[in-house]
Structure 1
Amino acid sequence: MLGSSVLGGNSGSPTNNRVFVYEVTGLKQNETNDKNNYQFRSSSSVFVSVPYSRMNEEMQRIGKMGGTIVNIQSLEAFKQQEQNNSPENNKAANHKKQKADRDDQN
């Protein structure tokens, strides 16, 4: 049927492949997340990958657990940021800067 591809299944919509990363702070152990097999610290950021279709549900879940979403970005942007912040890239950038500084002095 014509409407079935719009209402369900993998319709090839660009939203089906979109994933976002939430940076969450302030999570603390409570009765909602006591069911997990692990404990987590409340002092650090946690990164949670969320498909576009579940963004609202995940926001509500994080709020119920006492967390605060401090940043939302696409998975692609998150990966790019992680790559830019990697130690290898920092070394290369520092080396280029030092070389440019030496060239400026000459």
Structure 2
Amino acid sequence: MVGQLTGGTTSNRYFRYEVVGLRQNEETDKTNYPIRSSGSVFITVAENRMNQEMQRITRLGGKIINIEPLSFEPKTDS
């Protein structure tokens, strides 16, 4: 999930969510020890998918601790 890109191609604006507390999946939640040792996961989301992704993160038990805008500007050779 690190660096995962979510969303459609209609939006030019993207945001990076820093998320803590995401569960791996239903099977790994049954273990008695933590699976992930690092605290943060970074998810890149298109502007038009922000609300849906926030809801998904909440359902998975995660907490968004930071949102920052990203700028994807095409490089031009000069």
TM interval, short-chain normalised: 0.5 to 0.7
Counterpart residue number, 2:5: none
- Deviations 1:49-93 (Å, cap 9, x if unpaired)? 0000000000000001100000001013xxxxxxxxxxxxxxxxx
Task: Give unmatched runs, 5+ long, in structure 2.
Answer: 1-9, 30-34, 72-78
- Deviations 1:8-61 (Å, cap 9, x if unpaired)? xx5xxxxx2000000000112343xx9xxxxx6164100000000000000000
Structure 1 or 2: more strand by fraction: 2
Task: Give unmatched runs, 5+ long, in structure 1.
Answer: 1-9, 11-15, 35-39, 77-106
3-state SS of 1:41 partner: coil
Distance (Å, rounded) in 2 between the aligned partners of 1:72 and 1:19:
10
Q: Give the TM-score taking structure 1 as reference length.
A: 0.46
Structure 1 or 2: more helix by fraction: 1
- For these two proteins, the number of residue pairs brought into alignment is 56
Q: Give the TM-score taking structure 2 as reference length.
A: 0.61
Q: Percent identity?
A: 60
Matching of residue 21 in structure 1 with residue 23 in structure 2: no
Distance (Å, rounded) in 2 between the aligned partners of 1:42 and 1:26:
11
3-state SS of 1:70 partner: strand
Q: Which runs of 4+ in 1 moved over 2 A?
A: none
Greater RCO, 1 or 2 (C-alpha within 8 Å, sep 6+): 2
Cα root mean square deviation, aligned: 2.3
